Structure 1
Amino acid sequence: MLPPIAVLSLLGVALLLVAASIKRIPEGHVYTLRRLGRPARTLTSGTHVVLPLVERVAHKISLSGHALQLDERVALNDGGAPTALRGKVYWQVLEPDRADAVIERADELIRARTLNALREAENPAAEDGRARNARLKQALNAALRERGVLVTRVDVDLAA
């Protein structure tokens, strides 16, 4: 027979494992799980049971909108003078399974794609602001849709 302290210790460890296996996902969020370092599954809002010590939460992804603030000087043409780029790019995650691979660097990815799309235009500073923002939004969505990310609005200004 086990001593009472050992029984209490085993019971305490069992209760800790049960408590660690229950995950409550808030509304508007998705958690991605890794099982032994590999992608396992995606948990939507609600209460879920996970395997403690085997599965771990890799990313907590918010499905509500995000905003990327742009405030930098960029050279849009080869050898051209730097132009001030200010504004915001609003985006959200539509497909968490696809976005899981890029969610940690999503802001960097969107910033780089925005600069590339600006440089593709002949003279982006002379372009109408609304037309430029619509073109940027379309270019960003074409590049990011396969990653599970949708750009909902682009509001950027260029100034010399």
Structure 2
Amino acid sequence: MSQNILLLILCATVVFAFLSVKRIPEGTVYTLRRFNGQARTLQSGTHWVWPLLERVVHRISLTGHVLPLDELFPLATGSARLSGKIFWQVIDAARADALIDRADELIRARALNATRAIDNPAEEVGDQRNSRLKSVLNESLRELGIVVTRVQVSLA
């Protein structure tokens, strides 16, 4: 009977040690939360975690993301379609963790608001619009740990 208990303890220890090792791929950051709400981020590499106390909340890719845009946009003379892509990436995972689940919605809303802020956006040249949108988005998103790398939108 004591050999069975010893074998059970040995197997439980091996399983616990196996679950304690997390391998995080290059270009990815994991956010872990404990039951008490405390959070920590893990960079790429191999790390020890507490399998019963900590859980992975977000797997944040630090490589580029693409946000497709296809929105009907009201103009003074009718309406037009704002379509294209916005390329963005996470530069600070700790700051971006709180909003990473809704980052696409946030970027889309801020791009539409920036386009609405222009009196007559249909008269704006495409390259001008793209560079203006990129700078406006970066001003508001950089403090959140996100940067827009390229904007390719058209208003037709």
- TM-score grouping bracket, smaller chain normalisation: over 0.9
- 3-state SS of 1:102 partner: helix
Work out whether residues 23 and 49 of structure 1, in 8 Å CA contact, stay in contact via their aligned partners in 2.
yes
Displacement of 1:51 in angstroms is 1.0
Displacement of 1:17 in angstroms is 1.1
Work out whether residues 88 and 154 of structure 1, in 8 Å CA contact, stay in contact via their aligned partners in 2.
yes
Give the residue type in structure 2 aligned to 1:109.
L
Aligned pairs for 1:80-91 within 5 A: 81-91=78-88
Counterpart in the other structure of 1:8: 7
**Structure 2 CA distance for aligned equivalents of residues 152 and 67 of structure 1:** 10
**Structure 2 CA distance for aligned equivalents of residues 9 and 83 of structure 1:** 68
Note the alpha carbon deviations across 1:10-62, whole angstroms, 9 max, x for none: 22222111111100011111111111152421111110001111111111111
CA 1:116 to 1:17, structure 2 compared with 1: closer, same or farther past 3 Å? same
**Structure 1 CA distance for aligned equivalents of residues 128 and 41 of structure 2:** 38
Q: Return the TM-score normalized by structure 1.
A: 0.92
**Structure 2 CA distance for aligned equivalents of residues 106 and 149 of structure 1:** 9
Q: Return the TM-score normalized by structure 2.
A: 0.94
Note the alpha carbon deviations across 1:92-133, whole angstroms, 9 max, x for none: 000000000010111010000000000001111110111111
Work out whether residues 31 and 42 of structure 1, in 8 Å CA contact, stay in contact via their aligned partners in 2.
yes
CA 1:128 to 1:40, structure 2 compared with 1: closer, same or farther past 3 Å? same
- 3-state SS of 2:121 partner: coil
> Structure 1: 5+ residue runs without aligned partners?
none
> Structure 2: 5+ residue runs without aligned partners?
none
Counterpart in the other structure of 2:35: 36
Kindly tell me the number of residue pairs found equivalent between the two proteins: 156
- 3-state SS of 1:53 partner: coil
Counterpart in the other structure of 2:138: 141
Counterpart in the other structure of 2:100: 103
Displacement of 1:76 in angstroms is 4.7
Moved over 4 A (4+): none
Q: Work out the percentage of aligned pairs sharing the same amino acid.
A: 56
Counterpart in the other structure of 1:120: 117
Q: Paired residue for 2:127, among 114, 126, 130?
A: 130
Give the residue type in structure 1 aligned to 2:145.
G
CA-atom RMSD, angstroms? 1.4
**Structure 2 CA distance for aligned equivalents of residues 40 and 61 of structure 1:** 14
**Structure 1 CA distance for aligned equivalents of residues 3 and 89 of structure 2:** 54
